[in-house]
Each structure stands twice: as structure tokens, then as C-alpha cells.
Amino acid sequence: MAGFARLLIIAFVLLTVLYFALYFHLRANRRDRLLAEYESMGAEAQETKVSQELVAYESRLRRGLILGVYILPFVAMVATIYFTNFH
């Protein structure tokens, strides 16, 4: 089981790096899009609107990323184990 533990630890570290990289990148993209969309408003109103929408986006993003970055590879691993060993 040492091999399994090793795999879990290494995978967790790598996936966490990927998670944060994707999180900040996608959030920045969303922010740019929002800023462009609310270009016409004044500076202050734009800031408040953008930060409001960003907060709403963050929870969706977090959920999606946990699903895609952590759960998906784990499910893929389990499926591989099943189809390789118990076909």
C-alpha cells in the first residue's frame, strides 16, 4: 500500500498546483470580461458591480474546479482499475 500512498501524495500536490493555477487564471479572465462588459459605467459603480459578480463566480468556479481537478482523475483511476483488472 506504500505505492498507493505515494501516488496519492504526489497526485494531491500536483493537482493542488493545477487547481490554484486554473483558479486564478480563470478568475482573471472573468474579471477582464466583466470589466469590458461594464466599460460604460463610471469607475466606482463599475468596481462594485464587478466585485459583486466575481464573488458569485468564485463559488461556481470553486465547485467546478474541485469536480474537474480532483474528482475527475480519481474517478478515471477507479475506472481504469476496474476495466484493467476486473473486465
Partner 1 sequence: MAYVKWGFWGTFWLLVFAVFHYTLPQNDIVRIVNTYEERQELNDWTRMFWSSPDAQSAELTNRDVQFIQGVKPDGEAMVYRNEDTGWGWPFYFKFDTANLYTEANDAISTKDAPEWVAVRHYGWRNEFLSIFPNAVRIRVVEGPDVSFIPWMNIIILTIFAAIFWSIRVRWVRFRRARIDPVIEDVGDSLADAGDSIAESRGRLRGWIDRMRGK
Span interacting with partner 1, options 33-41, 44-52, 64-72, 74-82, rule CB under 8 A: 74-82
Q: Which three cell numbers stand for residue 24?
A: 486564478
Q: Work out whether 9 is an interface residue with partner 1 (CB under 8 A).
A: no
Q: Work out whether 36 is an interface residue with partner 1 (CB under 8 A).
A: no
Q: What DSSP state is assigned to residue 41?
A: S
Q: How many CB atoms lie within 10 A of CB 35?
A: 13
Span interacting with partner 1, options 36-44, 53-61, 63-71, 78-86, rule CB under 8 A: 78-86
Among 69, 54, 55, 59, smallest CA distance to 20 is for 69
Q: What DSSP state is assigned to residue 1?
A: -
Give contact residues for partner 1 (rule: CB under 8 A): 2-4, 6-7, 77, 80-81, 84-87
